[in-house]
Structure formats: structure tokens, C-alpha cells
Structure 1
């Protein structure tokens, strides 16, 4: 059944977590701290300023963003770059599983050939440079 917002021409509701990802993507792309108004301008759709501000505050409370005073408000920046943030999320999911080996085996089995080769190269490079082996 079509969403009533779509029928009325309103912007459809975003999936859970999608707005947080969009806000983070805007901050990573900017490479410098941004205010809520600046983030709002970068995002597509008709998001209210207060919605963007709420997401920024939540991400700050989670430790994903840091902020500093700028005028009467704050400018926000990510605490980690995109690769570090994604790697941390992957580690968190892996740690939450009850069978680490099964999760890793499934993950590797579902990689594309190019990604599998890249992972093998990265593991070899890590071992050659004294990286973690356990």
C-alpha cells in the first residue's frame, strides 16, 4: 500500500538510522566543522532545522561528533573519519555475535572476488608490517 506522504507529495519517511548516516556523510564531505544550518542545507529533502539539530545532538551524545561554540550555537565535526567509523561499527557487530568464526566465514564467503583479493592483500601487508595476527 502506498505511503500517504508519498501520495500527498510529502517527503517519504527515512529508514531508521538513514538520517544519521546522511548527516555524517555531509560532515565527512565538508572536511570542516559545520553548524546545524549548514548541515541542513547539504541534506536533500525538506528537513526541519530542529530535526537536523536533534540528530546532531544525539550523535554528539553518542560520542560520534564533537562540537565547539560558534556564535550562539555549535559547529559539529565527526570524531573519526568514515573508514574508522565503519570499521568500529563492524567490530561492534562482530563482538555481539555468539559465533565469531561463523560470522567471519559467512562475511568472507559473500565478498566479491575483488574484495576478497583486497582483503587477502591487506592481511598480507598487515602481517609483513608486524600487524595483529590474533
Structure 2
């Protein structure tokens, strides 16, 4: 999975934070609170995100309502999986990854491994 571009990430951030369907107009208006961006630019990038599978959409009268197709966490996990796939030594890559975690992140990883282990045993 390719990393999101700057505007793609900015658009997806809204959908992940809002966790609801939204129109391009809503996204444009929110981005324009911080910086100027053209409606047509956001429409184009939102359409690209839809075709890449990051967004779903449904018709609401004459406008499209878009929604994130997966969570921010699922996106981050896919990026990590791709990163591991780039290595010929997945175990070595995991070791390097874990070496860069702080104590809280290591505790979260241990908990995640326990939870996944429990689910696998059921």
C-alpha cells in the first residue's frame, strides 16, 4: 500500500476523525479554516481516494456522501505490513521495529499479542 500524499492524508484525516459520511463541500470548508484549497482540487483527490479503495460513497440526491472504508489503524497496519514485506528478513525487520518502541508501546504490543493469541485459541 502506497503512503497517502499530503492532501490525501488531510482529507482522510477528516473522515477518520468525523467517523461519518460527509460531502466534498464539508471537507473543503473544514480544510479552508486552516488553508485555502479549491473545491475542484478536493473533488479530484476525493475521487482518487474512492477509486483507490480508501473511501466508499453513496448518492444523496445530487451529491456524493463519502466515508472512510477502513479505520486509520487499519491503514497504519497495512503500511506496516508492506514495510515488513519489503524485507527479506521479516524477523530482523520486526526486531529493528521493536527496538525503536518506547515502554508504553512495548506494553501495548505485548497486550495485542496476548489478545490475538487468545482469539486464535477460541
- State the TM-score, normalizing by the size of structure 2: 0.85
Q: 2:19 aligned with 1:37, yes or no?
A: no
| Residue equivalent to 1:120 | 110
Rg comparison, structure with higher value: 1
Q: CA RMSD in A?
A: 1.6
Structure 1 portions without partners, runs of 5+ = 1-15
CA distance in 2, matches of 1:41, 1:35: 10
3-state SS of 1:80 partner? coil
2:41 to 46, 51, 55: 51
Q: How far, CA to CA, are the matches of 1:69 and 1:125 in structure 2?
A: 39
Deviations 1:80-122 (A, max 9, x none): 1121122122212222322212211110000011101211122
More helix by share: 2
- Report the TM-score when normalising by structure 1: 0.78
Deviations 1:3-48 (A, max 9, x none): xxxxxxxxxxxxx712111111101222211111111112231010
Deviation at residue 65 of structure 1 after TM alignment: 0.5
